[in-house]
Amino acid sequence: MNLNFGISKEVLVALNTTKNIAKLQEIGGVQALAGLLNTNIRTGLGLNEKISEYKQRSLTYGSNTRPRAKPKRFLSHVLSVLRDDMMIVLMVRYEPIGIYIAVFCVTIIVSAANWHKERQFRFLNELKEDVTSKVIRNGETERISSSHVQVGDIIRLDQGDMIPADCVFIEGFHLTIFEPNMTGTDAFIQKDYSQPFLSSGSQVVDGTATAIVTAVGRNTQSNSTRVLIEQEKVKFTPLQIRLEKVSRDIGKIGIVFAIFIFITLCLKYIFINSISPSEVFHTDTFGVIFRYLTFSITIVVVAIPEGLPVALSISLSHSIKAMLKDNNLVRNLEACEKMACTTLILSDKTGVLTTSKMTVAEAWIAGTKYDQIPHPSQLDHDVLNILADGIAINSKAHLGVNTIDGTPVSIGNKVDCALLQMLVKNFEIDYNRIRAGSDCDLVQMFTFSPERKRMSAVVRWDVENQYRIYTKGAAEVVLELCNRYMNHQGEAITMQQQDRQLMMLHINIMSRKGLKPLLLAFNDFELQGNNNFYDLEHPPEDELIMVGIMGIKDPIRPDVIEALQKCKNASMNVVMVTGDNLQTAVSVGTDAGIYLDTDHVALEAQQLRDYNEQQREEMLPRLKIVARATPSDKQLLVEYYKKLKHIVGVTGDDARDVHALKDAHVGLSMGSGTDAAKESSDIVILDDDFSSIAKAALWGRSIFENVRKFLQFQITANAVALILTFVGCVSDKEFPLTASQLLWINIIADVLGASALATEPPSDDLMKRRPQFAYASLITNTMLKNIIAQTVYQLTLLLCLLFGHEQLFGQPDPENDWSYKKHKNDFTLVFNSFVFCQLFNMFNCRRINNEFNIVQNIHKSYLFIIVWIFCLVVQVVLVEAGWLLGFETTGLSFLEWFVCIVFGSLTLTLGFAMRVIPVPKRDLLTYIKSPKFYIERFKRRSNG
Ligand SMILES: Nc1ncnc2c1ncn2[C@@H]1O[C@H](COP(=O)(O)OP(=O)(O)OP(=O)(O)O)[C@@H](O)[C@H]1O
Ligand SMILES: [Ca+2]
């Protein structure tokens, strides 16, 4: 027990973990609980709660931050790179200083890349956990960061909110929460006095409530288990897994090469020096053999494309950062890759395709149609009052001002905000006065749901047992519930068949203009025997009196048309799924450019549900618009399209969209949407804009593209280096490239190449292609063509230099040629030409789809330029002054430098020539199956 509070942390924690109501009652219920926690269930933490007391609170009960693993420090990254066994082997041996420099460079660069990557993802994690909560403090509702929520805080929960900490229900209407369960059985649960315990991390799906916080941070039930789970799972994206495999396969080839080279070298040594078996273990021989071993290991290091996973990581983290600039917050790494493969997007209309800046454009009020909002003097007093009361009371929205810059902000449902705006601006009525007024004893609220497409509020009159219900909602739905309408004088008139038809006509006219027709109605009724309204399950929404229809305009976003066109070019289908009626949807869809051709289909969700499977399959490819849809329809659509082998992206903002968001390959939630939706999504579209989705696809595609660019570069360099070394070893040249040179080449081919090519900004051409097939070969035919051509060219060239050096340049004259120092000159020439070939080929690899402009957008690839210049400078230093560092090079003459540069730049010419040679469409590498496949097939054949 402590001094300030009447209840200990342990008791509170136990209360929520055991969900023990008896225990709560023993304490004396929530009211008493609040007392023990020095708080008030209506006004929240009090004024006298000074800063020191807030501190005392968090000292006693903890703070609401999620426990997390400590970030790895740079040094531990360095150590984990050094732990790489092969590096150690290279270091223990006495070697010229050059090798240490090389090892040092690799270590630092790889560690830096890993460290940077981890920081990036950590930053993202922080962003994605940045959730706010509404608390009542000093009687005012405040929005604070969830991490500042304290035990004893009274929090306000509305549809879509995330519950920030464990808490106990105080009061509310129809609170339904979605509790993600550790056992995987997620469930919707009704919460009230009988089930008052709310666990942190749950989402409010329906209703509203206030609750008192009882446990925060690591003391909450979900967090104590979550930490364990988070520590366990190291999740790789599918592409990462594939690249690991590619990397391993290439590594295996390298090992085979290395073993072969090792044996060849040893045998050659033994033969040439005709060493007898007894002399093999002689120290001299042993030293030589050990040197061969180190060399072979170097070959393995070169062969293993360590840069490949690094390239992907760099590309991923680079893309994620760039996507954030484009207002896409990536919550799940895998989503970036999947965005590249997405073939279909199920998009909401409101807010995504439209601006969601809603206004009332037209109205039908009490029997008269107005082409714009009427002046209040045009309306009967009673009519105006009922209209205003209905709008003010039957809504949870607010029009506020931004405290910082004074701009107006609207909080809550956008339709409701549009109506409030009309009250304030056109009718000059203060909705807050109505809400606070004596007429407004709100006893029950039936919040809006996309299924019911309407909402209602019930108020009690001063007169006993007299109540009034205000209902508003989708016009044709609420019209069904009305049997009377108000006329111009404010009298309730029974609705005849022809009246109803006329109303429908008005609704249709508004819809065809792309407006959302919203019907407002009310009814007075009596409820006998002091019935408790909290128990009322179904709202008394029948026999309503219709007051008016508001045509609400929601303009299309200006850049959406272009973005939709981009998706079309990229063969990404867009299907609009909306809760609006069919006519409104078709009108908006046509304007946006979704629904154009005669074979496009627009239908209501009900129709879709009624179709049989065959009808559906026939219609789905042409489907463009689904109207009157509920979140569960969205989920169904995801399922249908997945069956048709589509990679489906789905947008969602409502708490009820969580299932669709989770089921889809890529769940895209809206920045303005509910926390629940965000929590279940893979990408948060911060600005809600559809064009950001198109950009996400572009970045996703660019990841594949960049990995491929690097792959082409790396494989060429590897193949040439390995074959060259191999030929050198079996011939009389022994080591055409020394171990330190090979390591430098390794740095270029791996880490530097990865940094240069994996951070390339995407070109717009990417969005002119079909979506990436998720399991398409990573090496396309075009790449294969380039790899083979370059390898053949470079090898021919280098072997000519290696074996024909003297024929080409003549016998070096020791007196004139200052650079002639050792016989190693010809090796230096080979080394230098090799590096120059790679440097020029790096340009070729910038564009791997036969594009001719290989310097396109080069000014934006700043890392490419930096890396390239860095390589160039280091190379010149290594060649001209490398011997100082023990790098086993000699300087080159001007002629030799010229030759290296010309030979290197010829790779560009070759690259251009290759671009015109056509290749078959189907990836050749897909024909090559793993040995397992052939074994299986052989078994099948021999069996059948
Ligand atoms: N606050 C509200 N009060 C009453 N009725 C509403 C309200 N908001 C929307 N409606 C009605 O319910 C219908 C369906 O709304 P729903 O939220 O399902 O779709 P939406 O969000 O408008 O469209 P989308 O699915 O494209 O985002 C709307 O067409 C409108 O007529
Ligand atoms: Ca390597």
Q: What are the domain boundaries of the chain?
A: 9-66+135-232, 79-113+237-319+697-927, 328-355+557-688, 359-553
- 86 or 24: whose pLDDT is higher? 24
Mean pLDDT within 905-925:
86
pLDDT confidence tier of residue 901, bands split at 50, 70 and 90: very high
At the top level of CATH, the class of 328-355+557-688 is alpha beta
Mean pLDDT score of the chain: 82
- Measured between alpha carbons, how far is 84 from 851 in angstroms, rounded to an integer? 39
Candidate ranges 12-21, 136-145, 269-278, 543-552; pick with highest mean pLDDT:
543-552
Whole-number pLDDT of residue 230? 45
Q: What is residue 110's three-state secondary structure?
A: helix
Q: Does the pLDDT of residue 819 top 50, yes or no?
A: no
What tens digit of pLDDT does each residue of 290-309 get?
A: 778 877 887 887 888 777 77
Which of 448, 507, 576, 594 best tests ligand 1's pocket when mutated (most atoms within 8 Å of CB)?
A: 448
**Is the pLDDT assigned to residue 407 strictly greater than 90?**
no
- Per-residue confidence band for 767, with pLDDT thresholds at 50, 70 and 90: confident
Whether the pLDDT of residue 534 is over 60: the answer is: no
Q: How many CB atoms are closer than 10 A to CB 590?
A: 16
Segment 530-534 shows an average pLDDT of 55
Q: Please give the average per-residue pLDDT across 915-927, as a whole number.
A: 79
Q: What's the average model confidence in pLDDT over 37-48?
A: 78
- Catalytic residue IDs: 348
The answer to whether 647 and 667 are in contact (CB under 8 A) is: no
Q: Is 633 in the pocket of ligand 1 (CB under 6 A)?
A: no
State which residues have CB under 5 angstroms from ligand 2, the bound ion.
302, 746, 750
Statement: residue 325 has pLDDT above 50: yes
The answer, yes or no, to whether any atom of ligand 1 lies below 6 A from the CB of 350, is yes
Taking CA atoms, 227 is separated from 41, 213, 230, 233, 334, in Å, by 31, 21, 5, 10, 21
Looking at residues 492-504, what average pLDDT do you find? 92
Model pLDDT for residues 560-616, shown as the tens digit of each residue:
899 999 999 999 999 999 999 999 999 999 999 888 878 899 999 999 889 998 998
Q: What is the ipTM of this complex?
A: 0.95
Please state the rounded mean pLDDT for residues 543-548: 93
- Whether ligand 1 lies within 6 angstroms of the CB of 455 is answered as yes
> Does ligand 1 have an atom closer than 6 angstroms to the CB of 447?
no
Residue 857 reports pLDDT greater than 90: no
CA distance 486 to 474: 18
Instruction: Tell me how long the chain is.
Output: 944
Residue 279 to residues 46, 284, 289, 534, Cα–Cα distance (Å): 91, 9, 12, 98
Per-residue pLDDT, 816: 45
In the block, residue with structure tokens 């732990």: 83
Band of pLDDT at residue 820, cut at 50, 70 and 90:
very low
% pLDDT > 70, the chain: 85
For the cut 80, the answer to whether the pLDDT of residue 867 exceeds it is yes
| Mean pLDDT of the 417-435 span | 90
CA of 344 to the centre of ligand 1 (A): 24
Instruction: Find the range with the poorest average confidence among 75-84, 197-206, 626-635, 893-902.
Output: 75-84
Query: Which pLDDT score is estimated for 386?
Result: 92
Closest by Cα among 864, 609, 593 to 755: 864
- For the ranges 35-49, 155-169, 467-481, the lowest mean pLDDT is seen at 35-49
pLDDT of residue 228: 42
Q: What are phi and psi of 358, to 5 degrees?
A: -90, 145
DSSP 354: B
- At the topology level, CATH places domain 9-66+135-232 in 2.70.150
Say what the pLDDT of residue 49 is. 62
User: What confidence tier does 808 reach under pLDDT thresholds 50, 70, 90?
Assistant: low
**Pocket perturbation via mutation, ligand 1, pick of 416, 553, 578 by most ligand atoms within 8 A of CB:** 578
What single-letter DSSP state applies at residue 120? Answer: H
Q: 488 pLDDT exceeds 80?
A: yes
- What's the pLDDT at 844? 92
- Residue-wise pLDDT for 370-402, tens only, equals 999 999 999 999 999 999 999 999 987 878 766
Whether the per-residue pLDDT at 815 is higher than 60: the answer is: no
How far, in Å, from the CA of 629 to the mean position of ligand 1? 10
* CB proximity list for 549: less than 8 A, separation 6 or greater: 363, 364, 365, 475, 503, 506, 507, 510, 517, 518, 519, 520
**How many whole angstroms from 517 Cα to the centroid of ligand 1?**
10
What average pLDDT does range 162-168 have in this prediction? Answer: 88
Question: What pLDDT, on a 0 to 100 scale, did the predictor assign at position 821?
Answer: 41
Looking at residue 602, its pLDDT comes to 92
Beta carbons of 648 and 346 less than 8 angstroms apart: yes
Name the residue of 516, 582, 668 whose CB sits within 8 Å of the most ligand 1 atoms, as the mutation to test its pocket. 516
> Per-residue pLDDT for 287 more than 70?
yes
The pLDDT confidence band at residue 725, using thresholds 50, 70 and 90, is confident
Ligand 1 atom having least distance to the Cα of 580: 29
H helices present in 235-331, as ranges: 238-272, 283-303, 307-325
Q: Encode pLDDT of 672-692 as tens digits.
A: 777 778 888 889 998 888 888
The answer to whether the beta carbons of residues 157 and 204 sit under 8 Å apart is yes
pLDDT value, residue 810? 59
> Which residue's CA is the closest to the ligand 1 atom numbered 4?
473
Which of left, alpha, beta for 623 (phi over 0: left; psi -120 to 50: alpha)? Answer: beta
Residue 47: the pLDDT is: 57
User: Which segment of 130-139, 183-192, 211-220 scores lowest on mean pLDDT?
Assistant: 183-192
Contact present, 834 and 798 (Cβ < 8 Å): yes
Cβ neighbours of 547 (radius 10 Å) = 28
Tally Cβ neighbours within 10 Å of residue 494: 9
- Ligand 1, closest atom to CA 585? 26
- Shortest CA distance to 841 belongs to which of 705, 707, 714, 706? 714
Average pLDDT over residues 273-298: 74
CA neighbor of 328 nearest in space, from 770, 737, 685: 685
Instruction: Reply yes or no on whether the pLDDT at 227 is more than 50.
Output: no
Residue 584 region by backbone torsions, left for phi larger than 0, else alpha for psi between -120 and 50, else beta: alpha
Return d(Cα 167, Cα 150) in angstroms, integer.
Answer: 11
For residue 201, give the nearest of 139, 136, 149, 124 by alpha carbon: 149
pLDDT above 80 (res 112): no
pLDDT recorded at residue 402 = 63
| pLDDT band, very low/low/confident/very high, at 838 (cuts 50, 70, 90) | very high
Of the listed ligands, the closest to the CA of 87 is 2
pLDDT at residue 233 in the model: 44
Ligand 1 neighbourhood includes 560 CB (under 6 angstroms)? no
Fold (topology level) of 359-553? Calcium-transporting ATPase, cytoplasmic domain N (3.40.1110)
Q: What is the CATH number of domain 79-113+237-319+697-927?
A: 1.20.1110.10
CA-394 nearest atom, ligand 1? 3
Sign of CA dihedral 686, 687, 690, 694: negative
In tens, the pLDDT along 738-755 reads 777 887 888 888 878 888
